[in-house]
Structure 1
Amino acid sequence: MTTADDAVPTAPHGTGLPTSDPATPVSAWGLPLLGLAFVAVLKLTGLDGGYDGSALSLGVAIALVPVLFGAVFAAVYHAELIAHRTGEPFGTLVLAMAVTVMEVALLASAMLGENANPALARDTILAVVMIVGNGLVGLCILMGGLRHKEQSFRVTGANAYLAVLIPLCALSLVLPNHTVAAPGGAYSPVQLAFAGAATLAIYLAFLYTQTVRNREYFAVVIKDDEVADKAHKPSNRATLISFGFLIASLLVVILLSKTFTATVDVGLQAAGAPAAVAGVIVAFLILLPEFSAAVRAARADKLQKSVNLALGSACATIGLTIPAIATLSIVFGAPLELGLDSKDTVLLLVTFGVALLTFGTGRTNILYGLIHLVLFATFCFLVVKP
């Protein structure tokens, strides 16, 4: 999860502190407007049901991907700007809520649609853990290690992330297979309500620790010129404008979620790919902005920032998504399958075991990065060839 201080759109360099708002990129306001126009066209033409085999719906499916990705990037940009204006702990909450709204919208469209996919939430959460815990962590450590040989970070912060992620994954992905109140890998409504409340409690405790009580655990050492860049906060006018475009971006994602999930389902069926691939696609869509920022930080020898971005995004994704989809499942009676099979459970345990060793010393090298990347490649291979 991006923190407010980590992801501020920087102001121009100069003597003294900047006194005006940086120019807003055209994409930051153009992409949400393009997305709203695209949604309007789909509604008016009746093409919002996904790909149906016609040439026109194929064009819609092709255009859908860049429009949806653009809305996600615009939403993250405006959430970061608002977060810089509000400061902590509200800044972290703004970012976490923006990402959660997008993810829950995509999952809800699959849970509550005509062809419900009760396992998409499970597949998405597992994909988030594997993409972050192996793919992103491994790439950051490898890229940073190749450029700087060894890199350091705060063990206390990394341990806090892992202490949150392990029980969150156990409550949401492993424990449902060992309860008897509901068949298969599912919770009963009462158990689901408890698991959602417990997950939220763990995340809120972590958020308080990260933003108020022990902020030094996650501090990033920055240079004096970067301090000057970050000292300027957006004006009230710029913040209100960004808030409007944030709402517009989130609205685009919500309104296109049904079309996106329906199109993905048709594409996977045509390709003969397993249904679990859909979870990987949704996870990549949500994590892509954090992915690029974390890799850039590692190459700049700021591995602590990469750790904050990578592991923090996983904590926020699980800690806020599980309570949200649990509420949807209970209120609307939507089926929700959370328990992993034995193959994925083993891979999850190995991932956390290696992560404890990787983040246990405060220093990393390319060996750890390569190991995590091999585990990520194993996950991707087993998703396609289970």
Structure 2
Amino acid sequence: MSAVKSLSVLARWTVWVPLLAIVALVLSWGRSLPPAAVALVALCLAGAVLAAVHHAEVVAYRVGEPFGSLVLAVAVTVIEVALIVTLMADGGPKTAALARDTVFAAVMITCNGIIGLCLLVAALHTRVAVFHAEGSGGALATVATLATLSLVLPTFTTSKPGPEFSTAQLTFAAIASLALYGLFVAVQTVRHREYFLPVTREGATIRDDSDHAPPPPRSAALLSLTLLIVALVAVVGDAKAVSPAIESGVESAGLPQAVVGVVIALLVLLPETLAAVRAARRERVQTSLNLALGSAMASIGLTIPAIALATIWLEGPLVLGLGATHMVLLALTVVVGALTVVPGRATLLQGGVHLSIFAAFVFLAMSP
């Protein structure tokens, strides 16, 4: 990976930027910040995100695929869960739909934005993007099932008024989400690991990256793992510090509250996006799909159980059910995604179609 190749050059800023972001977190925690301080904390936040990408890639390169994609997906989901829970704890009734908005935005960003961008980048470089249909198809099916169970069914259940689950239904959805996610991880990393390894243009599986730099030593990987945790803590804390500015900006612009969830998802998925695009540029499209679909899956399969557990002490309703517009976008995403992954090959056209769906989602989020 490029991040590993340049480890000695990047080591300086990738070490001190997360530490600086932690200092910004300590100084800003629980305080009302002036605009200049918000800008400074946001700068530290951006630096911590980029540092997290670097350290996650180092760890991922050490453990290899598909474990590396899993590391980054889980790391990103930890950020998402922590942000949702902290904002819901402070926001009151107006954040009742924040978990739904953020998780759905993550699905749209990963399954359309990241996949579309990666297919576009790969197709521009090699004309045809090649990947395993078996692995990608299974991942997409799992994402579609998780999204339907957690985000669509609450709109139609009748045990509780409104687009909400009853306690028993929420418990079932949380357990089912964890079980499906655990089953997928077992298939991805053990039973059918070969389905999630990158392939050449001729369709041959790439089982190692011998044409690139050797994996980092264990000490470097452990250091990066420690700094990754530090960077993630800094991202969560600094994002919470700037979230009031984001919410006030959304309100002053006259935008729907759901835009806050979109902004949070865009923020936490930035590391995933950068890593996926880098993999696509290196003709590792399967790695890009692992990152995108794995992150969508983790976003639902881990976030919903965490939010369900948090409802024990969180006050107010938990709105999970999607509206009609978002259900149409989800259905379109699943159909188009299936047509994209089944052949195991994609061109510029598929990338453009996914990006157009993502653009429609962003536009409709601002103008429902």
| Alignment TM-score, normalising by the size of structure 1 | 0.86
1:252 to 206, 209, 234: 234
Distance 1:384 1:218, change over 3 A: same
Task: Note the 1:348-367 alignment, pairs <5 A.
Answer: 348-367=330-349
Larger-gyration structure (1/2): 1
Q: Secondary structure at the match of 2:311?
A: helix
Per the alignment, residue 151 of structure 1 pairs with 129
Output one character per residue of 1:61-89: Cα deviation in whole Å (capped at 9) or x when no partner: 22232211222232343344344555678
Q: Aligned to 2:285, which of 303, 310, 316? A: 303
Is 1:275 the counterpart of 2:242? The answer is no
Evaluate the alpha carbon distance shift between residue 376 and residue 91 of structure 1 in structure 2; reply closer, same or farther with a 3 A threshold: closer
- Offset at residue 24 of structure 1 (A): 5.1
Q: Is residue 63 of structure 1 aligned with residue 45 of structure 2?
A: no
Q: Judging changes above 3 Å, is the alpha-carbon distance between structure 1 residues 88 and 225 closer, same or farther for their aligned structure 2 residues?
A: closer
Q: In 1, are the aligned partners of 2:128 and 2:347 still within 8 Å (CA)?
A: yes
* 1:228-239 to 2 correspondences below 5 Å: 229=212, 231-236=214-219, 238-239=220-221
Shift of 1:146: 2.9
Which residue in 2 is equivalent to 1:39?
25
| Worse-superposed segment, 246-255 or 280-289 | 246-255
After superposition, the Cα gap between the structure-2 partners of 1:93 and 1:307, relative to the gap in structure 1 and judged at 3 Å, is closer
C-alpha distance in 2 between matches for 1:97 and 1:371: 28
**Displacement after TM superposition at 1:339 (Å):** 0.4
Query: Structure 1 pair 221/42, CA: closer, same or farther in 2 (3 Å)?
Result: same
2:74 is matched with which residue?
Answer: 97
Match of 1:16 in 2: none
1:174 equivalent in structure 2: 152
> How many corresponding residue pairs?
362
SS class of match (1:130): helix
Question: What residue number does 1:373 align with?
Answer: 355
Query: Residues 213 and 195 of structure 1: is their aligned pair in 2 closer, same or farther, counting only changes over 3 Å?
Result: same
Kindly state the Cα deviation for residue 290 of structure 1 after the two structures are TM-superposed: 1.7
CA spacing shift, 1:305–1:93, aligned 2, 3 Å? closer
In structure 1, distance between residues paired with 2:262 and 2:331: 19
Per-residue CA deviation, residues 197-226 of structure 1 (Å, 9 max, x unaligned), is: 110100000000001110010111477993
Deviation at 1:255, TM superposition (A): 2.6
Residue of structure 2 in register with 1:226 after alignment: 209
Does residue 108 of structure 1 match 2:92?
no
Q: How far does residue 114 in structure 1 lie from its aligned partner after superposition?
A: 4.2
Within the candidate set 180, 184, 187, 2:165 is matched to 187
Instruction: Report SS of the residue matched to 1:112.
Output: helix
Partner of residue 53, structure 1: none
RMSD: 2.5
3-state SS, counterpart of residue 335 of structure 1: coil
Q: Distance in 2 between matches of 1:283 and 1:30?
A: 26
In 2, distance between residues paired with 1:362 and 1:124? 30
Q: Please say if residues 99 and 286 of structure 1, whose CA atoms lie closer than 8 Å, have aligned partners that are also in contact.
A: yes
Q: Gaps (5+ residues) in structure 2?
A: 201-205
2:163 aligned counterpart, secondary structure: coil
Deviation at 1:124, TM superposition (A): 1.0
- Aligned residue for 1:138, secondary structure, equals helix
Give a deviation string over 1:327-379, Cα, whole Å, max 9, x none. 11134345311100011101110111111111111111122122212111111
Per-residue CA deviation, residues 274-325 of structure 1 (Å, 9 max, x unaligned), is: 1111111111111112212222332333322221222122112221111111
TM-superposition CA deviations, 1:151-187 (whole Å, max 9, x none): 2211101111111101110011101111112221111
**Match in the other structure for 1:3:** none
Aligned 8 A contact 2:119 2:347 in 1: yes
Note closer, same or farther for the CA distance 1:303–1:94 as it changes in structure 2 (3 Å cut). Answer: closer
- Asked if 1:138 corresponds to 2:120, the answer is no
Deviation at 1:26, TM superposition (A): 1.9
Q: CA deviation at 1:95?
A: 3.3
Q: CA deviation at 1:125?
A: 1.2
Q: Deviations over 1:238-273 (max 9, x none)?
A: 344334323322322333343232221111111111
Amino acid at match of 1:232: P
- Distance, in Å, in 2 between the alignment partners of 1:224 and 1:187 is 44
Structure 2 SS opposite 1:226 = coil
- Contact 2:65-2:287 within 8 A present in 1 as well: no
Q: Deviations over 1:109-137 (max 9, x none)?
A: 22111445011111111111111111222
1:318 and 2:318 matched? no
Cα deviations by residue, 1:12-33 (Å, 9 ceiling, x for unpaired):
8xxxxxxxx8565222111111
Equivalent position SS for 1:25:
helix
CA distance in 2, matches of 1:92, 1:297: 11
1:204 aligns with 2:182: yes
How much identity, in percent, do the aligned residues show?
A: 44
Whether the 8 Å CA contact 1:111–1:334 is kept in 2: the answer is: no
Q: Hey, what does 2:367 align to over in structure 1?
A: 385
Per the alignment, do residues 91 and 293 of structure 1 end up closer, same or farther by CA in structure 2, a change over 3 Å counting? closer
Q: Distance in 1 between matches of 2:207 and 2:76?
A: 31
User: Structure 1's 252 and 296: CA in aligned 2 closer, same or farther, altered over 3 A?
Assistant: closer
* Most deviating of 167-176 and 243-252: 243-252
CA distance in 1, matches of 2:275, 2:60: 16
